[in-house]
Structure 1
Amino acid sequence: MKDEELSGLLREAAEAHRPDRARMLARIERGMASGRPAPRSVRPPRAVRPWLRVAGATAAVCGVLAAGAFSVTWAGDDDRAHGGQVASAPSPAASTPAVRGGLRPEDGPLWTGGVVDPHSNAYWAQSNVTLRTTEPLSALTVELRVARTGGVNSTGSWRSLPERDFTVSVNESGGYLVYRWTLRAGRTVPAGTHTFAGQYNHAEGDRDATGDYVTAHAVRASGGKASVGDHFGRSR
């Protein structure tokens, strides 16, 4: 066969060939279903990058929402109604204004301190109360008072001591959001360092927490009473 005839036959065969598009798509789909990468990228890199940026932003937003949901769920454990009698402790109502007039952070075996959690932000905050006792307590009432500045409303509370040992309430009184933890009758607070925390939303921006304070009133298992209090500082 002459070269001219061979070239003509090859050209005719090339022109007559048509790719089987359906078969190619089927192969790609089978590869994707089995977890194998497709034979080649179907999008150029420039088209993929904006999609990745959108996906990253969406993931960040979901993370914030999840953190918020966790905070509210955790708080809900303490906000349920609790029944039963409670131990008789010194009346917190009588000492509410006294913290301004001289309740000290330390009284006998009892010490307390208040600080706004460093993870608080421009819209939400957590006030941490540390209570330290060098001997067991047979009665205890802890009150955290958060001044009702712009937008302040409760999102929950928690404590490091067992939930079943305390009754918990949150209410508004005298311009404050009041978190109260009261030890149940027959229960004991062991010697050590314990944490109580109140969580709340507030208006956007820095919040002045200098009007917030905590009081704690206790009866020592060995006998005798102790009362302490502390102010909070400025925070976000």
Structure 2
Amino acid sequence: MTDELRGLLRESAEAHQPDRARMLARVERGTARTGTARRSRDRERTRALSWPRIVLATLATAGTLTASALMVVDVDVDAVHDPDPPRSPSAVGRAVPPTAAGSRTEDGPLGADGSVDPHSNAYWAQSNVTLKAGEPLTALVVELRIALTEGVKDTGNWRTRPAADFDLSARQEGGFLVYRWTLKPGRTVPAGVHVFAGQYDHATGGRDAKDDTYRIDATAGAAERGAAVWGGFA
């Protein structure tokens, strides 16, 4: 390099003066942009960190509400489906119509049989309920139900026990002519065979007794055991 070229470069370097104000402004702008970017990143980070907390809090609240709702539903269901109270044992004289198809002719000391009396004819009939008591009875209800086929009409009744020992009713109920003998309080029926009979007219010709039924409810013996039998007619 020549001495002349060195001189020119030196003069040029000495003549150059940096613009400090412009440089400071550039630095401040860069710092501002950096701070803004940092703050933006911080907000994004905070938002990212807060979101799981919000979700967890929401789920926890929803879970609490759901559990509460389930508890309420469970209580309501229990209230609606509360089991029935215990039922008392069979009571003498309960109004439960027997069915011939579901006959039960023996129960403990109690037995029974139903039959159409052989002296019945084409205009009139008698239905007999034969009671067999293995022990004395302290309570007794005998019910005879005659289906109201054509022409059926009450013409009387009888029993082998004293009439004064029983309250008697004979009436039409639910399509049947119903005879009911109820042993009076303080009276007893001894062990043995006893007959209760209902008599009635009917339309001319043979009458079908397939829908006729009987039922007997009793209390037997010193233990006062309840017993019940029922059935139909041959």
Q: TM-score, normalised by structure 2?
A: 0.59
State the partner residue of 1:85. Answer: none
Q: How many Å apart are 1:115 and its aligned residue?
A: 0.5
2:92 is matched with 90
Q: CA deviation at 1:176?
A: 0.4
The question of 1:221 aligning with 2:193 is answered no
Instruction: After superposition, give the CA deviation of every residue in 1:45-89 in whole Å (9 maximum; x if it has no partner).
Output: xxxxxxxxxxxxxxxxxxxxxxxxxxxxxxxxxxxxxxxxxxxx5
Residues 232, 103 of structure 1: alpha-carbon distance in 2 compared, 3 angstrom cutoff: closer
Q: Helix, strand or coil: the match of 2:151?
A: coil
**Deviation for aligned residue 1:221:** 3.1
The 1:101/1:205 distance shift into structure 2, 3 A limit, reads: closer
Identical counterparts, % of pairs = 57
Q: Distance in 2 between matches of 1:137 and 1:189?
A: 5
How far is the alpha carbon of 1:230 from its aligned partner? 1.5
- Runs of at least 4 residues off by over 2 Å: 99-103
- Match of 1:170? 170
The answer to whether the 8 Å contact 2:133/2:191 transfers is yes
Q: Distance in 1 between matches of 2:108 and 2:199?
A: 29
Residues 55-94 of structure 1 mapped to structure 2, 5 A cutoff: 90-93=92-95
1:200 counterpart residue number: 200
Matching residue of 1:134: 134
**Aligned match of 1:154:** 154
Amino acid in structure 2 at the alignment position of 1:143: E
- Report the AA paired with residue 130 of structure 1: T
Q: Structure 1 pair 149/166, CA: closer, same or farther in 2 (3 Å)?
A: same
Supply the AA of the counterpart residue of 2:228: S
Q: Is the CA contact (8 Å cut-off) linking 1:129 and 1:214 kept in structure 2? A: yes
Q: CA RMSD in A?
A: 1.5
Kindly state the Cα deviation for residue 103 of structure 1 after the two structures are TM-superposed.
4.4
SS in 2 for 1:197: strand
Structure-to-structure mapping, 1:106-125, within 5 angstroms = 106-125=106-125
Q: How many positions carry a matched residue from both structures?
A: 144
Kindly provide the amino acid, as one letter, of the partner of residue 110 in structure 1: L
Cα displacement string for residues 85-124 of structure 1 (whole angstroms, at most 9, x for unaligned residues): xxxx52331x214x35634000000001110011100000
Q: Show the counterpart of 1:191.
A: 191
Separation in structure 2 between the aligned mates of residue 129 and residue 150 of structure 1, nearest angstrom: 22
Greater Rg over alpha carbons, structure: 2
Contact 1:103 1:227 in 2 (8 A): no
Secondary structure of 1:203's aligned partner: coil
**Greater Cα offset, 119-128 or 100-109:** 100-109
Gaps of 5+ in 1: 1-88
The match for 2:233 is 232
The whole-number CA distance in structure 2 between the counterparts of 1:116 and 1:103 is 16
User: Given the superposition, is the C-alpha separation of residues 178 and 120 from structure 1 closer, same or farther in structure 2, using an over 3 Å criterion?
Assistant: same
